[in-house]
Amino acid sequence: MTALGRYLSGTRIGCADLPGEEAKLLYGPIINKLSKTLVGTMPEKLDVAIVHTMNRYSEISRIADRPVLIYDRYAGQLLNTLTRILYWSQDVRTSNRFFSKVFAEQAILAGDLTGGMAGALAHVQFQKFWNIRPAGSDARVSLRVRLQEVFIFAHEFAHAMMTASEEFQKSTRAIGDLLTEPRDGPKDRGAYKFFQERYPGRQTFKQWKQLGEAEDAFVTDHRELLRDEVGCDDFALHMTLVTCLSMDESPEYAFEAAFLALRNIRALAYIRRDANPASSKLPHQNTTEFRLLQVRQHRLRDAFRSVAAVYSIEKALDGFWAKLQDLSDLHDRQIDYPLLATTLSSFKRVRRQLMKDKAVSQVRDVFEVAEWLGWDPAAKSVNYVLL
């Protein structure tokens, strides 16, 4: 077994099969476009490994003295499913089915047998309510899914590039520094007027100013981390837009994809937190992870303006601004509400009941629950495809 294989097998639960040709078809074109964009900067020693694991996260590791981007295509499938639920779900129980499975998987990863069983049982209970058609049945939804994955992949690729190229790291951090500078907006009534035009009646000037000042204080405290994240977001936005334009599609789709990608990643962060019994009991909005994602969303909107100016597509951005509130409300209604108000409460209720139930003791371990969900935790290796 290779050094990378040993690392993956020791840190992840994977599936028995990972179609190599499919992985190359999905991610090869993205890597080719990234390579062409980074001519003269792209290092030869950067490897990309595609995996499909229950963990649903990508990472940068150093294996045999080489930086490796480990990209989890199961996270990409999350974007696929959430986007289909966003536009097509007409029954909250459809969302419950999917979220219950993700809760079960994340509980298993946290070593919580009872939580894994609770999620798995709920997943089976809601099985009959799944009525979402494949993304490929609608070209517009397929495009939205594809561009979100370009954004996420390019963001992770940018992190990998920062470890492999000092030149890329320097330029990315310079952009990140610009995007994390304290803003004059919270003190400026002109900026508040612009905010009111986009979100009428949402906040008074005093509330808006206080929230803006609180965000600036948070950014100051976490600037080193944030500058890398928003710098990589800016790079990912450029790549998403380039991909969109190369397909002769409206730039609005690129802005939408970047916005939805971060909202969907936030949904996964909610589940990871609540599926782990050892996690903090603070409300989500008070946690550092949530606030980091929130600031990334806000600073990404600043990046929208600069990118639109570079490509002379300000009109397309105006069109996106006009739709942004409706898109945000749709995500609240179709994703966040079913997740936090129904699936989470059901998950906790079933988990509490199982804590009192002797049935839990009849299950060998979390690996047995993982098998119920179609995983093979006993597999001796995690398959991967090098691109």
Instruction: Find the mean pLDDT for residues 343-360.
Output: 77
- Closest to 140 in 3D by CA, of 250, 238, 267, 264: 250
Is pTM beyond 0.85? Reply is yes
| 265-308 per-position pLDDT tens digit | 999 998 988 888 776 455 555 577 888 888 899 899 889 999 99
Least confident of 136-140, 185-189, 309-313, 367-371: 185-189
Q: What is the pLDDT of residue 217?
A: 86
The CA radius of gyration of the chain, in Å to the nearest whole number, is 21
What single letter denotes the amino acid at residue 381? S
> What's 329's DSSP letter?
H
Band (pLDDT 50/70/90 cuts) for residue 361 is low
Specify the range with the lowest mean pLDDT, choosing from 7-21, 70-84, 278-292.
278-292
DSSP 285-304: GGSHHHHHHHHHHHHHHHHH
Lowest mean pLDDT of 2-11, 64-73, 207-216, 369-378, name the range.
369-378
First to last CA, the chain: 18
| Domains in the chain: boundaries | 3-386
- Distance between CA 159 and CA 34 in Å, rounded? 13
Contact 160, 67 (CB under 8 A): yes
Dist. CA 245–CA 253, nearest whole Å: 10
Helix (H, G, I), strand (E, B) or coil at 91: coil
Token pair, residue 95, equals 């969302």
3-state SS, residue 165: coil
Q: Say how far apart CA 343 and CA 351 lie, in whole Å.
A: 12
Pairing between strand 66-72 and 47-51?
Answer: parallel
Torsion region of 248: left, alpha or beta (phi above 0 gives left; psi -120 to 50 gives alpha):
left
The SS3 of residue 384 is: strand
Poorest-pLDDT segment among 14-18, 98-102, 120-124, 315-319 = 14-18
